[in-house]
Structure 1
Amino acid sequence: MTRLLIRSGKDPFTPVVAESTLTQDVFNSNSGNYLFQHSMWKTLSVDGAELVTNSTLSERVPPEPGDAARINDEFDHFVIPMANAFRREFEPRLARLAELLEGVTIPVTVTGIGAQAPHGHGIEALEPVNDTVKKFVGLVLDRSASIGVRGEFTRSYLLSLGFPDDAIDVIGCPSLFLHGRDFRVDKRVDALTSDSPLALNLTPEVPGIGAFATTQAERHPNLTYIGQDAHDLRMLLWGVPFPHVHDPLVPVHLEHPLYQQDRIRLFLDTWPWYDFMATQHFAYGTRFHGNVAALLGGTPAHLLAHDSRTLELAEYHRMPFTTMPSFEADLSAAELYEATDMAEFNAELPRGFDRFTAFLDRNGLEHIHTDGNGTGTFDADLAAATFPPPVQPLIAGDGHEIASRLQWLRDGMVLDITRHPQAYQQPWEHPTWSGAGSRHARLHAKVQAQAGEIETLYARLELVERGSPYIAMRRIGRWFKRMLRRS
């Protein structure tokens, strides 16, 4: 049996509740990451292959001694689906991943990696991350035939760093190949009306996006804003507005009409997301994967490209797009829809699919699109999975959102997330090292000590329950203060 280690927050079949998704950052700060991770998972799920998620652990924290050796011993191939990793904000994670790869000797394949520069800037804007990118890409190419990049902008960047052209394959984003070579998207309606069901996605930091979003919401009462990142989820779960976006017209505050009217959703898994998008007539906005989710649901989408990352992908896949470095409130959804022609996208998808599968073949990865290969248990595992519903604002009319939060708090999230009944259990963790000075040893000792104190507290509670409730609360308060000081 072939064993593949896959860079992904989780596998496609394991449901993780919203609170765990946020607290443990299972989706790596953005639910859009699941689209390309799980598309790769399906693509590689051939008969006789076992896929294991690495939970993106070795890039969240520095790799532990023995991590690389464990990968070499337990796996045949390390597959690393990526997104816009060549940027300053991601550099610490990329550096940690490069540190891990230094000890990895099995084949390593990177898919869909891209560079990101602000609108109007070229590859010169990426100079601060050059050294880290050189190290990472060099390590990857020492362990693979080529690296799969998103588009021509990223290819030009790597060429400028001295990497050979024949080691760089432009493959786009694997998410769009989820349904295979013959997939296509066509319009369901001739034109939009004010009552059409619409899905809006947006990047809150883009200049002018607030006035644009608010105007769209006013014109289209059946418009739903689909949030994607951790700040969106935190706002929906706990009512915490975005800390760095102060424009009240952006739907990241509790007072915004889209929040007050219960017209915001965030999906915790891709499959319910696709199902919802299949019910919409049109999707539009600045999020590449927000629009891909619509396309994979069979719904036309129009990308409002505001940086090199989104523009590069739209151009490669021939996705309908409009370049929008800033936004005007009077942009018309009906006009965007009229300008959305899916013909080029549909014609390009088979060609892009062939380049993608040729890249997999070149790097020795068996996939379900090879004649004679089976599809493993992917479809059966997916059919057997039960996913949580999309997250809604706390203001949702039937009260189930508030009830869900209260149950989570009652079950113990505040005291210890790692022991919460619905915490996400990572299937591939760092090895536990027993050295007295190691981080794991110190954490283990701390947890053991706290567990002992909890048992002592339960015993004391049993004694005081028959006594004064006031005395019991005083004792609980003293214990809780001690626990906080030690944390």
Structure 2
Amino acid sequence: MTHVENITLIKKTEVFMKKIGVIGCLPELPLEFPVEKPENSGNMIHAQAPLRMFDNAVYNKDYKKWYSQQSGFKDFVNSDCSHLIITLANSLSIDKPDEEKYKRLRLSLEQYDVPVVVFGLGIQKKNFDISDAKLGVEAVKLLEFLSERSRYLGVRGEFTKKVIEQSSSINNVYVTGCPSFFSYPEEFSKIKKNLENKNGRPAVSLTNMANEDERKVLAYAYSQKHFNIEPVSRITHSFYNELLNGSNPDLPYYWKGIKAKKYFGDIEDDSVKKYYLAYYRLFRQVKPWLEFNKEHVSYTYGTRFHVNMASILSGVPALWLVHDARTKELTDFHGLPSANIEDFSKYIEKGNVADLIDYTAFYERLGYLFENFNNYLTSNGLPEINTP
């Protein structure tokens, strides 16, 4: 019997009685992040999704709290779980493929006997051109394995789906959007009201400080005294730590280009340092992040997808600045308000950011998005989730 056929034999009562194993992204980060331990705090938002959706979901690092008699997570899943959910995020890359990593992941997943359900698989590519987007041998082997272990292979957007289909013979690819989107449905009704109220201070999040458009957006955020939410950078956080410790460090390298351009007037080192001490934020846990948004943020904008996702999961509006295929496929699928980063960097010279934030398409699409995601879950033998 195949794994797909086995799914049809899993009764709903069995799914509720058994646990659901979860592996993949980290749901919280250690104190060593990001200076000593590189990670992306946005992945916590993604990792929390199955744990929020299913009361019987058990993350692989936590299972021994309740199931210490098991010799390992693999044994726990194979004996006590109906499914294994894996949160994958930016797992495959066209620009910088890692074939050995893909092979290791496939071999590790082969240890599990239960259906494997994918959450959030995406393919990273800097530009939007799909004509030269081909996956390597080990990437295809991994995808073929995953497609055989579930009725549908879930991916985050149409771009990823097209790349997989033109790189392989896989024909059960299903676009779910980003699963983290579905983890706090009760907050979506608050976005419109908060957009109208405009209480709090805006917050920015950026990706590539070598990019002039993003440096300009940072200069704008600094000039307006907007919060600066950092999900990754060791360099930026090390600078901030030195400031907290009373040192007088040089500004991070990217400020040299910002100062030279004088985008929004002269910039002095001391004023930049005061800005970071007052408005810089980094989070290692999801709950305080969402609480911060609710209490202090009017809206967020920037190129970091999950920083903006953390915003709307708090009921706070966000504007996505599109800079790569990943952001475009996700904002398109979810109907999220977005602007091209190059156009936006010109717009902020005269325009008001809040005027670009329109949630009309989002609310029109919301019912379909939850219906579509629930179809993915139930087709793979998992329970439905609540809709807004």
Q: TM-score, normalised by structure 2?
A: 0.77
Code of the aligned partner of 1:199: A
Equivalent in the alignment of 1:34: 44
1:101 to 88, 91, 109: 109
**What's the CA shift string for 1:261-281, capped at 9, x where partnerless?**
212101111222122222322
Instruction: Please list, as runs of the form range in 1=range in 2, the aligned pairs for 1:427-438 lying within 5 A after superposition.
Output: none
Q: Which of residues 190, 199, 205 in structure 1 aligns to 2:203?
A: 199
What pairs up with 1:445-484 in 2 under 5 angstroms?
none
Output the amino acid matched with 1:104. Y
Q: Does 1:130 align with 2:136?
A: yes
Amino acid at match of 2:58: L
Equivalent of 1:312, from 329, 333, 336?
329
The separation in 2 between residues aligned to 1:152 and 1:70, in whole angstroms, is: 35
Partner of 1:177: 182
The offset of 1:11, in angstroms, is: 4.8
Alpha-carbon distance in structure 1 between the residues aligned to 2:289 and 2:120: 21
* SS of residue in 2 equivalent to 1:248: helix
8 Å CA contact retained: 2:120, 2:178:
yes
SS in 2 for 1:132: helix
Corresponding residue number in structure 2 for 1:444: none
| Paired residues, number | 342
Compute the TM-score of the two structures, normalised by the length of structure 1: 0.62
Task: Return the alpha-carbon distance in structure 1 between the equivalents of residues 193 and 256 of structure 2.
Answer: 34
Counterpart CA distance in 2 for 1:108 and 1:204 is: 34
**Structure 1 partner of 2:59:** 52
1:72 Cα deviation (Å)?
Answer: 3.1
CA–CA distance in structure 2, aligned partners of residues 244 and 102 of structure 1: 44
SS of alignment partner, residue 281 of structure 1: strand
Residue 281 of structure 2 is matched in structure 1 by: 265
Q: In the alignment, what sits opposite 2:313?
A: 296
1:51 is matched by which residue type in structure 2? V
Paired with 1:333 and 1:135, the residues of 2 have a C-alpha distance of 50
Tell me which of 115, 138, 160 is aligned to 1:154.
160
Query: Which residue of 1 is the match for residue 299 of structure 2?
Result: 282
For 1:78-477, what aligned pairs fall within 5 Å after superposition?
78-87=84-93, 88-89=95-96, 91=98, 92-122=100-130, 124=132, 126-127=133-134, 129-165=135-171, 167-180=172-185, 183-184=188-189, 185-188=191-194, 190=196, 197-205=201-209, 207-208=211-212, 209-218=214-223, 220-221=224-225, 223-231=226-234, 232-237=236-241, 246-248=254-256, 255=269, 257-261=271-275, 262=277, 263-278=279-294, 279-325=296-342, 328=345, 331=348, 335-369=352-386
Contact 1:207–1:326 (Cα < 8 Å) also in 2: no
Richer in strand (by share)? 2
What is the deviation of 1:53? 2.7
CA distance in 2, matches of 1:315, 1:281: 23
Map of 1:4 onto structure 2: 20
Is this contact kept in 1: 2:87–2:120, CA < 8 A?
yes
2 CA distance for matches of 1:147 and 1:101?
Answer: 15
Change (3 A) 1:11 1:117: closer
Letter in 1 for 2:60: T
Work out whether residues 49 and 179 of structure 2, in 8 Å CA contact, stay in contact via their aligned partners in 1.
yes
1:62-108 deviation per Cα after TM superposition (whole angstroms, max 9, x unaligned): xxxx9866753464321111212121546343332112123332211
Distance 1:135 1:197, change over 3 A: same
- Corresponding residue SS for 2:321: strand
Residue type at the aligned position of 2:218: A
The whole-number CA distance in structure 2 between the counterparts of 1:163 and 1:322 is 34
Quote the offset at 1:116 in angstroms: 1.6
In structure 2, how many angstroms separate the alpha carbons of the residues matched to 1:23 and 1:175?
A: 26
Q: Say whether the 8 Å CA contact 1:320–1:341 is kept in structure 2.
A: yes
For residue 326 of structure 1, report the CA deviation from its aligned partner: 7.6
The equivalent of 1:395 in structure 2 is: none
Shift of 1:317: 0.4
Question: How far has the Cα of 1:243 moved from its partner?
Answer: 12
Q: Which segment is superposed worse, 323-332 or 140-149?
A: 323-332
In structure 2, list runs of 5 or more residues that go unmatched: 1-16, 63-71, 260-267
Q: Distance in 2 between matches of 1:182 and 1:344?
A: 17
Note closer, same or farther for the CA distance 1:50–1:295 as it changes in structure 2 (3 Å cut): closer
* Paired position in structure 2 for 1:18: 31
Q: Is the 8 A contact 2:27 2:285 kept in 1?
A: no
Taking only aligned residues, the RMSD between alpha carbons, in angstroms, comes to 3.4
Q: Which amino acid aligns with 2:327?
A: T
Residue type at the aligned position of 1:37: A
Is the contact between residue 20 and residue 83 of structure 2 (CA under 8 Å) also seen in structure 1?
yes
When Rg is computed on C-alpha atoms for both structures, the one with the higher figure is 1
User: Following TM superposition, by how much is the alpha carbon of 1:249 offset from its aligned partner in structure 2, in angstroms?
Assistant: 5.0
Q: How far is 1:198 from its partner? A: 0.8
Change (3 A) 1:302 1:344: same
CA offsets per residue over residues 208-246 of structure 1, 9 Å max, x none? 11122113311x13x110000152444444679999964
Unaligned runs of 5+ in 1: 56-65, 371-487
Compute the displacement of 1:308 (Å): 0.3
SS of 2:125's partner is coil
Distance, in Å, in 2 between the alignment partners of 1:343 and 1:168 is 28
